[in-house]
């Protein structure tokens, strides 16, 4: 983009490294950053700085929070022996939004993917096993990982590690989204939904 | 989003004010901003700061540039009497990318839109008329505005202001995009393309 000044191109380039941001969107964003009023710009800047400075990851579960341990881990009304295993911290907020899960979490920090060089030792699997071991046979683990090659591999691996501990292990259900039209579902989802049918 | 810490929600909120950014994308961006390494974050931050500090708008044409007047206005190989009128500074880079236009520009800063309270006096129309008047009858003006209700209104208004100066006024062609399939063109574009057919 020699058509823009180098300064502008550099910002477009940095912005387009962010997830879901293509060059066109990055250009629009950069132009807005250039033209927005000082007040809006300060608000954007200070919120970025504040996130970098004040948010960390819970040393127990890996959730992001302003305090450590996070409010979920220290909550007196949460069932500490029910651990929901998720890929990353953003999954926690998706589940919390439902306001119906009363257990705690464990963030793996990714899924096993030999292609991307993500081996089990790079994920918080040892930490999960240690947590479950400490809870004893009373513990229950829910695997809330995506139904993908990486998700499957990770589930298989986790089950192999956790099974010897004698705890209950379950996996979230996969199927047609509630309110979703059958005709728009892909074949994999549809066959999974048929296979996992429940008696009425 | 009470599920996130307030600090995080504030960043998501600020990011979702940027153009083309929905809440989901803003969440992904905020999460990346939180987790990216210090080096990448510094690069993003400094490029934002640099754009705000170093880029301004050319006092002649309204183009964004590190210097004033901008390099296009001061270029010795540009035809100063051929003015291409555009909506905003980003349109200039779209045209410059072609590397085939050798005139100069004039940025209006928007299109006339009574609905949005954008009246002619809020745009750089007086400035355009003054520039053209100074050039005299030798000048040529190309209107490169979008084919929309606002674009039409603005063109009509500009023609009325510029016609008395006796200069040549033209408008860019509208039609089927080069390489575009006829079947995917909307009716308006198609009829415009038929109407503006050229003899072969």
Kindly determine whether residue A3 and residue B96, on different chains, have CB atoms separated by under 8 Å. Answer: yes
CA distances from B22 to B10, B13, B18, B19, B166 (A): 14, 10, 9, 9, 48
Q: What is the rounded radius of gyration, in angstroms, for the C-alpha atoms of chain A?
A: 21
What the block records as the tokens of B114 is 């009574």
Burial B131-142 (b: 16+ CB within 10 A, else e): bbeebeeebbbb
Phi-psi region of B188 (alpha: psi -120 to 50; beta: other; left: phi over 0): alpha
pLDDT tens for residues B145-191? 888 889 999 999 999 999 999 999 988 887 777 777 777 777 777 77
Q: Does residue B8 belong to the interface with chain A, where contact is any CB pair within 8 Å?
A: yes
C-alpha span between B37 and B33 (Å, rounded): 9
Q: Is B89 on the interface with A (CB under 8 A)?
A: yes
On whether any CB of chain A is under 8 Å from the CB of B96, the answer is yes
- A170 bridge partner residues: A142
Q: Is residue B148 classed exposed, middle or buried when 0-12, 13-18 and 19+ CB atoms within 10 A define those classes?
A: exposed
Residue B15: its chain A contacts at CB < 8 A? 44
Q: In what order do the strands lie in the sheet with B140-143?
A: B104-107, B82-86, B140-143, B168-171
**Do the Cβ atoms of B20 and A20 come within 8 Å?**
no
- Per residue in A34-79, pLDDT tens? 999 999 999 999 999 999 999 999 999 999 998 999 999 999 999 9
Please indicate if any CB of chain A lies within 8 Å of the CB of B5.
yes
| pLDDT computed for residue A2 by the predictor | 42
Query: Higher pLDDT residue, A189 or B145?
Result: B145
Phi and psi (nearest 5°) for B180? -80, 150
Q: Does B64 touch chain A (CB under 8 A)?
A: yes
Query: What separation in angstroms does the CA of B131 have from each of A113, B140, B165?
Result: 62, 11, 11
Interface of A with B in 97-116 (CB under 8 A): 97
Q: Which residues in chain A are closer than 8 Å to B55, comparing Cβ atoms?
A: 5, 7-8, 34
pLDDT 10s digits, B48-72: 999 999 999 999 999 999 899 999 9
Residues 6+ apart with CB under 8 A from B91: B107, B144
- Model confidence, pTM: 0.75
Q: Does ipTM top 0.90?
A: no
- Phi-psi label, residue A99: left if phi above 0, alpha if psi -120 to 50, beta otherwise: left
Q: Which among A31, A50, A89 has CB closest to B7?
A: A50
Which band of pLDDT confidence, cut at 50, 70 and 90, is reported for residue B1?
A: very low
Q: What is the pLDDT of residue A104?
A: 96
What is the C-alpha separation between B19 and A30, in angstroms, rounded?
Answer: 10
Which residue in A has a C-alpha nearest to residue B32's C-alpha? A18
């Amino acid at each position: 983009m020699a058509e823009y000044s180098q300064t502008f191109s550099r910002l477009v380039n940095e912005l387009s490294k962010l997830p879901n941001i293509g060059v066109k969107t990055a250009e629009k964003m950069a132009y807005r950053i250039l033209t927005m009023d000082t007040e809006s710009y300060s608000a954007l800047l200070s919120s970025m700085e504040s996130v970098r400075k004040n948010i960390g990851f819970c040393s127990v579960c890996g959730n992001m929070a302003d305090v450590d341990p996070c409010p979920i881990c220290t909550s007196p009304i949460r069932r500490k022996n029910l651990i929901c295993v998720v890929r990353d911290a953003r999954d926690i907020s998706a589940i919390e939004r439902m306001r119906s899960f009363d257990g705690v979490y464990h963030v793996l920090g990714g899924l096993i993917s030999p292609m991307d060089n993500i081996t089990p030792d790079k994920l918080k699997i040892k930490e999960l096993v240690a947590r479950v071991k400490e809870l004893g046979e009373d513990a229950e683990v829910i695997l809330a990982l995506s139904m993908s090659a990486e998700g499957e591999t990770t589930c298989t691996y986790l089950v192999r590690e956790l099974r010897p501990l004698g705890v209950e292990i379950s996996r979230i259900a996969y199927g047609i989204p509630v309110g979703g039209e059958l005709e728009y579902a892909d074949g994999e989802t549809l066959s999974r939904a048929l296979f996992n049918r429940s008696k009425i």
